[in-house]
């Protein structure tokens, strides 16, 4: 059994982290689908005004969501067995906690599984490190922010419109667009998109021709071939003349390290920004709109 679990010959690698990852992610996914389709309205604000989020209660794909747990629950752990009945558990938004906690445990195990497979294959471990960025961002909005604000009802709803609503409320309460760490995250995402497009187009434009006009260019390349697929010198020469020489990488390893590093560091910073604003250390405010009881300006 141990040999099978850790075998790299399986079509999909399982691994010891996979033993926890598979059931937790399957649970989160199946409960998400059932709740998105059929969950009854949830009393998210704890004021006996339930909010409907499922398809069967009048929503569509855009407006539908898994509504966060009730403010009456706060950050108490609220599994099914803590409720007096299943109806009460659903009314108080129990499925949100179940999905979020299983999901976070599952994606953390996915990080471990990435490391584990790399280790078995004799690879270096940086793939798993890169994936910590989106996992940190998810943990920030689903777990850290609710803890800081004192209730899972402040967590991000699991739906499209719910996500946008979360963003608008977050800006109103924390001025996230003026937080330096979030600004670094924007630079990470936009910069990552730019660098990815630049790299992909440069490589595609400098492929070494291996075929005639009468056959597919793809026939010239084989998986695992020793020969270079594209001419990095030509790509470097082109880009160095387009911008200036030192704006262009001439080393493939440093180039790809940079391509991985830039967005990962940006998303790390974004996760840190949400995690600090969770405890109300907010974005900058230079409008002199925060004043004390005497009307004196409190600088941010």
Rounded average pLDDT over 27-52: 97
Q: DSSP letters of the chain?
A: -HHHHT-TTSSS--HHHHHHHHHHHHHHHHHHHHHHHHPPPB-TTSSS--B--SGGGT--TTT-EEPPPPTTTTT----GGGSSSHHHHHHTTHHHHHHHHHHHHHHHHHHHHHHHHHHHTT--SHHHHHHHHHHHHHHIIIIIHHHHHT-GGGSPPEEHHHHHHHHHHHHHHH-GGG-HHHHHHHHHHHHHHHHHHHHHHHHHHTBPP-S-TTS-GGGG--TT-SS-SB-HHHHHHHHHHHS-GGGS---HHHHHHHHHHHHHHHHHHHHHHHHHHTTT------S---B-TTS-B---
If you search the block for the tokens 């992909």, which residue do you land on? 200
Q: CA-to-CA distance for 42 and 228, rounded, in angstroms? A: 58
Which residue shows structure tokens 């599984």? 113
Q: How many angstroms separate the CA atoms of 294 and 126, rounded?
A: 54
For the chain, list the domains and their CATH numbers: 2-171 (1.20.85.10), 180-277 (1.20.85)
Question: Within its chain, how far is the Cα of 229 from the centroid?
Answer: 32
pLDDT value of position 263: 98
- Token look-up 């990552």 returns 192
**Structure confidence at residue 6 (pLDDT):** 94
As to burial, measured by CB atoms within 10 angstroms (0-12 exposed, 13-18 middle, 19+ buried), residue 140 is: buried
pLDDT tens for 213-272 read: 888 888 888 888 888 889 999 999 999 999 998 889 999 999 999 999 999 999 999 999
Give the pair of three-digit tokens for residue 141: 């909005």
How high is the pLDDT of residue 112?
A: 97
CA angle 96, 97, 98 (to 5 degrees): 90
Q: Read off the pLDDT of each residue in 66-90 and give the average, rounded to a whole number.
A: 97
Best CA proximity match to 156, nearest among 104, 202, 90, 91: 104
pLDDT in tens, 49-75: 999 999 999 999 999 999 999 999 999
> Which pLDDT band, with edges at 50, 70 and 90, does 44 fall under?
very high
End-to-end CA distance of the chain: 58
pLDDT (mean) for 1-16:
94
Task: Measure the CA–CA gap between 104 and 156, rounded to whole angstroms.
Answer: 14
pLDDT at 280 over 80: yes
Mean pLDDT of 84-93: 97
Q: Model confidence over 143-199: pLDDT tens digits?
A: 999 999 999 999 999 999 999 999 999 999 999 999 999 999 999 999 999 999 999
Instruction: Return the ∠ at Cα 204 (arms to 198 and 208), rounded to 5°.
Output: 135
- In degrees to the nearest 10, what's the CA dihedral of 8, 9, 10, 13? 10
**What's the pLDDT score for residue 269?**
98
Residue written as token pair 């990435």: 114
């Amino acid at each position: 059994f141990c040999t099978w679990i850790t075998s790299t010959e399986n079509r999909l690698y399982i691994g010891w982290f996979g033993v926890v990852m598979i059931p937790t992610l399957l649970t989160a996914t199946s409960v998400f689908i059932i709740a998105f389709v059929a969950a009854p309205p949830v009393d998210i604000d704890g004021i006996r005004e339930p909010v409907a989020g499922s398809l069967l209660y009048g929503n569509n794909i855009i407006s539908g969501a898994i509504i966060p747990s009730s403010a009456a629950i706060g950050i108490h752990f609220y599994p099914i067995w803590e409720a007096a009945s299943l109806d009460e558990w659903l009314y108080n938004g129990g499925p949100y906690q179940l999905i979020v906690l299983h999901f976070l445990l599952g994606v953390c195990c996915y990080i471990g599984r990435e490391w584990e497979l790399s280790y078995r294959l004799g690879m270096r471990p940086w793939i798993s490190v890169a994936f910590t960025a989106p996992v940190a961002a998810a943990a920030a909005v689903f777990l850290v922010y609710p803890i800081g604000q004192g209730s899972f009802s402040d967590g991000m709803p699991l739906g499209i419109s719910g996500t946008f609503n979360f963003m608008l409320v977050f800006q109103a309460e924390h001025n996230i667009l003026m937080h330096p760490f979030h600004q670094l995250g924007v630079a990470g995402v936009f910069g990552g998109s730019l660098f990815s497009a630049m790299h992909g187009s440069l490589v595609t434009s400098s492929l070494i021709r291996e075929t005639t006009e009468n056959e597919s260019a793809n026939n010239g390349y084989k998986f695992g071939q020793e020969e270079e697929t594209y001419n990095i010198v030509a790509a470097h020469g082109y880009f160095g003349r387009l911008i200036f020489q030192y704006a262009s990488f001439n080393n493939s390893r440093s180039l790809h390290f940079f391509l991985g590093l830039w967005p990962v560091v940006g998303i790390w910073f974004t996760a840190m920004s949400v995690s600090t604003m969770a405890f109300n250390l907010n974005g900058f405010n230079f409008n002199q709109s925060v004043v004390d009881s005497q009307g004196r300006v409190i600088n941010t």
